[in-house]
Amino acid sequence: MAFTIIFFIMHLSSNLSKKILAWYDNNKRDLPWRVSKNSKKILYYRLLSEFMLQQTQVKTVLPYFRKFRLIFPTLDSLSKSSEKKVLKMWEGLGYYRRARNLLATSKILTKNYRSQLPNEYKEIIKLPGIGDYTANALQAFIFNKPTLAIDGNVKRVFSRLLNKNENKINFKSLIEINKKNLFRLNRNSDLVEAFMEFGALVCKPKEPDCQNCKLNNICIYFKSKNKFVKTLKVKPETKSYNIFCYINKEKNQIALTKKNNLGFLKNFYLPPMKEVKDGSLLRNWKHHSNFKNLISNKKLDINLYYKYTKKNPMQTEWFSLKNNYEFIPSFTKKIFKEVLKIN
């Protein structure tokens, strides 16, 4: 099987690059981060968009990108912002750790690299929030290096070309073996974009446009009667949490803390929370409500408990329930609304 894959791509990779670049030139979307290779804004726009696009669709990102570009027109201006302001701007986009990592990376680049991106992969991947995919994408976009960023769209295109399940393909080896032919046109940045765009618009997860596909004459999936069956993703398990709301009734305040062991909510102001393994109710606490929530692709089943107190609980701060704090995440604001329903 490995020999078949290697031979297939080695034989077609040059033609594949021509075909997919020709399609891209005629069909690419007009996206605000796709600026000229010589633009002074290319690093900032690409960095900003790559952080925002992690696990988020283009249509969702577009208004946030435009808003950030307006408020923070340069990498330097972003690096000088406060975390509170960045988190407020990010509110609603989810995966808030990306916002913190983006801010941290902007500070490192302005301080240590004169607002430039380091040239070497080993240095880029050290930056907060940047993994293998983003490092490769930035190398291609900024330096036109012959590297292919392997995201879900790219994997899907290759797996259909080969009619092989994604988990049976070593994509890094596949690209490395065929590097010379794939990148022979020296349009490396465009090639990365082309594969991503093709996977998003033509070779879609559901109902791919195979009949009109410009690659169908070299696609084994299209020609085969025995098409591979994609392995279905395991749906995230729902986890149950108890939220403990200490309420100062006289002052209409709630106690919040940043001290929690929840990685996906680390450093956010929240009431004390604890994961529970059973649905039993707690003594000495009043049960107010149950609701579902999705945070960072995690399904949460929330039981909200409360008690009245005037004493400040340990490692917490009092916050007014009626203030619209900029730095408090939307999840906490949802809790505020629930608590305000308590008579």
- Known catalytic residues are 50
| 194 pLDDT more than 90 | yes
CA–CA dist 95, 331 (Å, integer):
12
CATH 3.90.79.10 in the chain, residues? 238-340
Tell me the pLDDT band of 3, cut-offs 50, 70 and 90: very low
Average pLDDT over residues 261-266: 68
Rg (CA), the chain: 24
Question: Does the pTM of the predicted model rise above 0.75?
Answer: no
* Amino acid at residue number 212: N
Average pLDDT over residues 153-166: 91
What pLDDT digit, counting tens, does each position of 129-147 carry?
A: 999 999 999 999 999 999 9
Token pair for 41 = 């804004």
CA–CA dist 168, 237 (Å, integer):
25
CA–CA dist 70, 325 (Å, integer):
22
Average pLDDT over residues 269-290: 81
CATH classification code of 238-340: 3.90.79.10
CA–CA dist 321, 319 (Å, integer):
6
| Residue (of 113, 151, 111, 115) closest to 135 by Cα position | 151
Query: 279-287 contacts: CB < 8 A, separation 24 or more?
Result: 279/240, 279/303, 282/242, 285/244
Question: Which pLDDT score is estimated for 312?
Answer: 83
What pLDDT digit, counting tens, does each position of 196-232 carry?
A: 999 999 999 989 999 999 999 888 899 887 777 666 5
CATH superfamily for 2-223 is: Hypothetical protein; domain 2 (1.10.340.30)
CATH 1.10.340.30 in the chain, residues? 2-223
Q: What percent of the chain has pLDDT over 90?
A: 55
Token pair for 135 = 């490092």
Average pLDDT, the chain: 87
What pLDDT digit, counting tens, does each position of 48-89 carry?
A: 999 999 989 999 999 999 999 999 999 999 999 999 899 889
